[in-house]
Chain A
Amino acid sequence: MSAAGARPIVEARGLTRTYSANGVPLRAVDGVDLAVEAGETVSVMGPSGCGKSTLLHLLGGLERPDAGEIVLDGRRVDRLSETAWSVVRRRTIGFVFQSFNLVDELTALENVELPALLVGASGRRARRRAVELLEQLDVADRRHHLPDRLSGGERQRVALARALINDPLLILADEPTGNLDSRATGEILRLFADLRSSGQSLLVVTHDARVASTADRLLSMRDGAVVGHTHLGGVSPVGSVLAGLADFGDAEGAR
């Protein structure tokens, strides 16, 4: 799947994950091959329950595959222990979830600086970088609030700042706009576009065509398997999509 000559940031080969539903085995991910190049944005689309979130969790080590291989930054990681996976995630992967998954006892600022502290950054450095990111994402004025005092869009921006603080090789985003209104969706998509233009590798799982269309490549999944593969670069102008979404959001907000 990878383009010739470029080393993929993450590569999956024959990735399989089976669940048991009332004793009946159910293949959530069925022999998926996948690669994400450096600086590339890949969207994974498909109906609910097709296995796209499970695929993302497998790639980030939040779940274990039954079969197949995962190579992250040139290193095979699918057999790592839970502890080793945690250490890999600290430096290599940033997660953005549909339900934000911010630690609800920590303020926005504390949530963002947490991964930096985990990799051993000094408190001052972690704070400076966290404030910087929150300012970039236009949520710095809310940094001393707990997550439940933030709007959905603000929470997702905080989650994105948290994902970015250690300059990860790869951002894994699971339905990042799934819980957001149109205005917030527009803001997040604009941020993703900025990330893409800055050379950040992104793998975005979504069932929203507008989100998927902002990627370089689009993978379609059904029943756990990748059934389609489309290059979108230049086909769907991201700027016009975002502009449309922003207009829509403004109209919603004006009501």
Chain B
Amino acid sequence: MRSVRLAVRLAWCNLRRRPTQAVLLLLTLTLATAMFGAGMALYGSADRPWDRVWAATDGFHVSAAYYRDRDVDRADVDLDAARARFAELAAAPEVRAVGGPWTHLYGLLDVDGGSEDLTAEIRDAGRSAVDQPLVTAGSWLSAGSDGVVLEQGLADALELGPGDTISVQGHEVAVRGVAMTVSRGRFPLSRPAQIWVTPATGETFRRIGLTEEGMEMQLRLNDPDDADAFAAAHRDIEAIGETSILSLETWRQRRTDSHSDIDILAGTLFAAGVLVGLLTVATAAVIVAGRMAAQTRQIGTLKAVGVTPRQVVLALLVENLALAGLATLVGLGAGRVVAPRLAEASQTVLGQPETPALTWGRVAIVAGVAAAVVVLATVRPAVRGLRHSTVRSLASGARPPRRPGHMARWVATPGLPLVGVLGLRSAWRRPGRLLTNAVGLSLAVAMIVVAAGLRPSLARLDAAGAASASPGEALSTGAVDTLYEQVRAIVLGTAGLLLVLATINALIIAALAARDSARNHATLRAVGATPRQTMAMLVVSQLGASLLAVALGLPLGLGLWSVMDGGDLPPVPVPTTTLVAIAAIVPLVFAALVTLPARRWAHQPPARALTYE
């Protein structure tokens, strides 16, 4: 207990002494947790509204649907056969109530700029025992009236309501009401567009050329939890042929599939969170490693007053876990602020989206991600701290030469300037630091590759969307673009974020490398090296890390991209020219970044670095 108290005090002192590092780590951690938090808050935010509509409409437990190819005279399963199978299903003892079967007519809705595929479901005027659509405006169908009821999504897309008229294949018909139901998803992500009509209106539609394309029947069982078993037991009714299809679907399947856009957005946020989280591991590892190298003096003092290596490592863990805890809180809070705004733009939610309750499980997942990031970053110094003496474990000593040094001989080699040799020697003698920096940078390189792959992929997504638009999708194509816009915004935002984080990562590495070598460079200045020479040495010593980072980061980025582009994004290989450009530009940019802190040290008189030990 005393150890923990001491560790907490040490951690608090460290946080106060190094606020910039703490803020940087907190910032990157929070970005990752916020993305996870938003993804979680978004995921499931359409479930409650769906449940409400399902309850209010006496929603189905099992839905049976039959559709046939309109262009053939005789389908694999004809309408009469389908009716017979429906009747058999409705007679099952588990069935408590039946809605339908309702005939579906196919036609074209006239809209600005063309037409939209339309299904007109023929309903009786009275209330159905199952799947009675919930009227949100106007009124339901009535006998003796030829008006139609629009599905909510269609009404929103057309910006029409009761009293307005729509035109179906040139025939104008009045809108009586607007309604929603779980048996039909919202237009435009659920197509074709849906309206409900009376049998009389259906006859009119037949006369103007609408064709019968199928029918649906909705069943309520004695127990909704039996839906899966019921569907499984009646799979023999299903028939999937070349010209017709008869299938069963349970309410749970429909509920899961009912908000595809939210699932895509949540999935994109999760993927972004994983990528940002990976980069955060690198940033945290570099910060922790840099601190270890700089903390030798303090650790020595602590050891002198009796602090054990275990306590020092514990302090480091406490400090980083505290930051992870804070990042979890901020991330979850930010996620819950952002998620409703994304969900409100959803085109599938039935009514107002509701952010699901924050369960301990969800908190644990986000906290686990943050904790994993800092523990991964701390594990190496922690293991070293536990295995070796304090100073040995925390001081990053140079690697002793295996053979006599050949610096002078190398310098005598034409084309190898002294600063280059010194820089290479410095990098070679500190392989651990070289590797840490290289791994940190390699994740940044990988993220740049992913970001580079996202751009052509999104362009192809746009092109694919435009190419697939058919004459019967004049209204829905534009609306579906809205979803693509949202995904594009998240993806491009993530790519930009990754680039910013990669740059911050490189800057931290550069600053720590410059600080780390300040004393050696001050010594070199004392024996006659110029500021420019010491700067060049630092750049050369870090170039090795950036070259190694490119060698590791390019395949890693390509691997990550190959995993990503198998999902919702169309597969587009990252162009070779882009990879070559990344391989060439990253070391140059990193060299330029290294010179920023190096310049600051190089132009200071060396006395301060020499006298401070």
Q: A-side interface residues toward B, CB under 8 Å?
A: 53-54, 57, 60-64, 82-83, 86-87, 89-91, 95, 97, 99, 101-107, 109-110, 113-115, 117-119, 122-124, 126-127, 130, 144-146, 148-149, 162, 166
Are the CB atoms of B405 and A87 closer together than 8 Å?
no
Report which residue of B418, B527, B533 has the largest number of chain A beta carbons within 10 angstroms of its beta carbon. Answer: B527
Q: How far is the CB of B295 from chain A (nearest CB, A)?
A: 16
Q: Which residues of A contact B471 (CB under 8 A)?
A: none
Q: How far is the CB of A88 from chain B (nearest CB, A)?
A: 8
Q: Which residues of A contact B602 (CB under 8 A)?
A: 82
Are the CB atoms of A103 and B520 closer together than 8 Å?
yes
Are the CB atoms of B530 and A83 closer together than 8 Å?
yes
Q: Which residues of A contact B404 (CB under 8 A)?
A: 107, 109, 144
Report which residue of A64, A90, A103, A118 has the largest number of chain B beta carbons within 10 angstroms of its beta carbon. Answer: A103
Docked pose: A144 CA to B404 CA in angstroms = 6
Known interface pairs A105-B425, A114-B524, A127-B408; 18 further A-B residue pairs with C-beta atoms within 8 A, sorted by A's residue number: A57-B611, A60-B526, A61-B605, A62-B605, A82-B530, A82-B531, A82-B605, A86-B525, A86-B528, A86-B531, A101-B519, A106-B425, A114-B422, A117-B407, A124-B412, A145-B400, A148-B398, A162-B527
Q: How far is the CB of B406 from chain A (nearest CB, A)?
A: 9
Q: How far is the CB of B250 from chain A (nearest CB, A)?
A: 69
List 13 A-B residue pairs with CB atoms under 8 Å apart, sorted by A's residue number: A57-B611, A60-B526, A62-B522, A101-B523, A109-B405, A110-B405, A110-B407, A115-B528, A118-B418, A118-B533, A123-B410, A145-B400, A146-B400
Q: Which residues of B contact A148 (CB under 8 A)?
A: 397-398
Q: Which residues of B contact A61 (CB under 8 A)?
A: 605
| Contact pattern, B 502-525, Cβ under 8 Å of A = 1, otherwise 0 | 000000000000000001101111
Are the CB atoms of A62 and B527 closer together than 8 Å?
no
Partner of A63, one of B398, B408, B532, B605: B605
Task: Tell yes or no: B345 within 8 A of A by CB.
Answer: no
Are the CB atoms of B430 and A64 closer together than 8 Å?
no
Docked pose: A82 CA to B529 CA in angstroms = 10
Q: Which residues of B contact A60 (CB under 8 A)?
A: 526
A87 and B531 in contact, given A62-B605, A146-B398 (Cβ under 8 angstroms) = no
B interface residue count range (under 10 / 10 to 19 / 20 to 34 / 35 or more): 35 or more
Are the CB atoms of B401 and A89 closer together than 8 Å?
no
Q: How far is the CB of B158 from chain A (nearest CB, A)?
A: 72
Are the CB atoms of B607 and A90 closer together than 8 Å?
no
Q: Which residues of A contact B412 (CB under 8 A)?
A: 122-124
Q: Which residues of B contact A166 (CB under 8 A)?
A: 528
Q: Which residue of B lies closest to A127 (CB)?
A: B408
Docked pose: A89 CA to B526 CA in angstroms = 7
Docked pose: A53 CA to B611 CA in angstroms = 9
Q: Which residues of B contact A145 (CB under 8 A)?
A: 400
A123 and B408 in contact, given A62-B607, A105-B430 (Cβ under 8 angstroms) = yes
Docked pose: A149 CA to B514 CA in angstroms = 25
Q: Which residue of A lies closest to B398 (CB)?
A: A105
Task: Tell yes or no: B603 within 8 A of A by CB.
Answer: yes
Docked pose: A46 CA to B246 CA in angstroms = 102
Q: How far is the CB of B401 from chain A (nearest CB, A)?
A: 6
Q: Which residues of A contact B530 (CB under 8 A)?
A: 82-83, 86-87
Q: Which residues of B contact A122 (CB under 8 A)?
A: 412
Task: Tell yes or no: B489 within 8 A of A by CB.
Answer: no
Are the CB atoms of A107 and B528 closer together than 8 Å?
no
Task: Tell yes or no: B235 within 8 A of A by CB.
Answer: no
Docked pose: A194 CA to B425 CA in angstroms = 34
Q: Which residues of B contact A64 (CB under 8 A)?
A: 605
Partner of A144, one of B405, B410, B605, B608: B405
Q: How far is the CB of B388 from chain A (nearest CB, A)?
A: 15
Q: Which residue of B lies closest to A125 (CB)?
A: B408
Are the CB atoms of A87 and B605 closer together than 8 Å?
no
Q: Which residue of B lies closest to A53 (CB)?
A: B611
Docked pose: A126 CA to B405 CA in angstroms = 13
Are the CB atoms of A106 and B407 closer together than 8 Å?
yes
Docked pose: A148 CA to B401 CA in angstroms = 12
Are the CB atoms of A117 and B408 closer together than 8 Å?
yes
Docked pose: A83 CA to B525 CA in angstroms = 9
Docked pose: A107 CA to B398 CA in angstroms = 10
**Top 3 nearest A-B pairs by Cβ distance?**
A90-B528, A123-B412, A123-B408
Q: Which residues of B contact A54 (CB under 8 A)?
A: 607
Q: Which residues of B contact A82 (CB under 8 A)?
A: 525, 530-531, 602-603, 605
Task: Tell yes or no: B143 within 8 A of A by CB.
Answer: no
Are the CB atoms of B606 and A62 closer together than 8 Å?
yes
Partner of A114, one of B398, B527, B531: B527
| Contact pattern, B 597-613, Cβ under 8 Å of A = 1, otherwise 0 | 00000110111101101
Docked pose: A146 CA to B398 CA in angstroms = 8
Are the CB atoms of A115 and B527 closer together than 8 Å?
yes
Are the CB atoms of B610 and A105 closer together than 8 Å?
no
Are the CB atoms of B429 and A119 closer together than 8 Å?
no
Are the CB atoms of A57 and B607 closer together than 8 Å?
yes
Q: Which residues of B contact A162 (CB under 8 A)?
A: 527
Q: Which residues of B contact A90 (CB under 8 A)?
A: 527-528
Task: Tell yes or no: B18 within 8 A of A by CB.
Answer: no
Q: How far is the CB of B430 from chain A (nearest CB, A)?
A: 7
Q: Which residues of B contact A106 (CB under 8 A)?
A: 405, 407, 422, 425
Q: How far is the CB of A117 from chain B (nearest CB, A)?
A: 5
A107 and B527 in contact, given A62-B605, A82-B603, A123-B411 (Cβ under 8 angstroms) = no
Q: How far is the CB of A122 from chain B (nearest CB, A)?
A: 6
Task: Tell yes or no: B17 within 8 A of A by CB.
Answer: no
Q: Which residue of A lies closest to B604 (CB)?
A: A82
Report which residue of B400, B528, B605 has the largest number of chain A beta carbons within 10 angstroms of its beta carbon. Answer: B528
Are the CB atoms of B527 and A95 closer together than 8 Å?
yes
Q: How far is the CB of A150 from chain B (nearest CB, A)?
A: 12
Docked pose: A106 CA to B174 CA in angstroms = 90
Docked pose: A59 CA to B409 CA in angstroms = 34
Docked pose: A110 CA to B404 CA in angstroms = 10
| Contact pattern, B 377-415, Cβ under 8 Å of A = 1, otherwise 0 | 000000000000000000001101100110111111000
Q: Which residues of B contact A146 (CB under 8 A)?
A: 398, 400-401, 429
Contacts of B209-261 to chain A: CB distance below 8 A: none
Are the CB atoms of A118 and B531 closer together than 8 Å?
no
Q: How far is the CB of B405 from chain A (nearest CB, A)?
A: 5
Q: Which residue of A lies closest to B425 (CB)?
A: A105
Docked pose: A147 CA to B58 CA in angstroms = 83
Are the CB atoms of B523 and A123 closer together than 8 Å?
no
Q: How far is the CB of A227 from chain B (nearest CB, A)?
A: 23
Contacts of B516-568 to chain A: CB distance below 8 A: 519-520, 522-533
Contacts of B1-43 to chain A: CB distance below 8 A: none
Docked pose: A64 CA to B398 CA in angstroms = 32
Q: How far is the CB of B437 from chain A (nearest CB, A)?
A: 15
Task: Tell yes or no: B311 within 8 A of A by CB.
Answer: no
